[in-house]
Amino acid sequence: NNFTFNTDMGGFSDENNLCIDQRGFKTIIQAEAAEFLQPQQVSLNSVVTTIAYSGDGVTVTLEDNTTLTADYVLCTFSLGVLQYGDIAFKPTLPSWKMEAIQSMVMATYTKIFLQFEERFWFDTEMAIYADMERGRYPIWQNLDHVKFFPGSGLVFVTVTGDFSLRIEGMQDSDVQEEVMEVLRAMYPNTTVPDPVAFHFKRWHADPLFRGSYSNWPPSFLRLGCYRIV
């Protein structure tokens, strides 16, 4: 059965669920934390390097050699960070947990945003561009839309997988040049200007993320999910 659009089975709904709240999802966590967390309990800009654990408690070592001790530690690292081994666990995590971690996929989705003084592109929410090269700037989304940010002059294109990794290794100017080649090919009868703003995030190269989304591969068993936790 195809449950893609069956919300009772975890599928997508017919409603538009694109989050455009400019406060970001962090607002949800901050609001919850504000009910109990005190400022002196928060350590910002602190990178964890080592977690030493035993039956007697846990010691966390930061990049500046500061140590924190506790009875328990809740780890919220991304799957990519765990797969890269950026955090040293002492003792090392058991083999069954490492197998579950390495069995999943940390994918990279790159959204490339462009802003123009005037909109010249499609009136719909989305458009697809088909190129002879697989994955070359195919999925376009219109943010200058009545449901999103009308009058913003914003449009973005999404690339994934190997193509995402490829552009992360390029200069911004080179990526912009390629994107504009595609956009001008999409509108050959329109004089397409250069954007007034251009931005994309290098999620895979960021050591705090190492990717964008974690996915279960087709062969991944549900048991593996519980083993990661």
pLDDT in tens, 59-78: 999 999 999 999 999 999 99
So what's the pLDDT on residue 10?
A: 67
**In the structure, what pLDDT confidence band is assigned to residue 22 with cuts at 50, 70 and 90?**
confident
**In the structure, what pLDDT confidence band is assigned to residue 224 with cuts at 50, 70 and 90?**
low
> What SS3 state is found at 141?
strand
For residue 50, the one-letter residue type is T
- Average pLDDT across the chain, whole number: 91
Q: What is the pTM of this model?
A: 0.83
Radius of gyration from C-alpha coordinates of the chain? 22
Q: Is the pLDDT of residue 204 over 90?
A: yes
**57: number of Cβ within 10 Å:** 12
How many percent of the chain have pLDDT more than 90? 74
Q: How far apart are CA 106 and CA 112, in angstroms?
A: 19
E-only strand ranges, the chain: 48-54, 57-62, 67-70, 88-90, 105-107, 109-115, 126-128, 139-142, 154-160, 197-200, 213-215
Q: What are the φ and ψ backbone dihedral angles of 84, each rounded to 5 degrees?
A: -75, -15
**171: number of Cβ within 10 Å:** 9
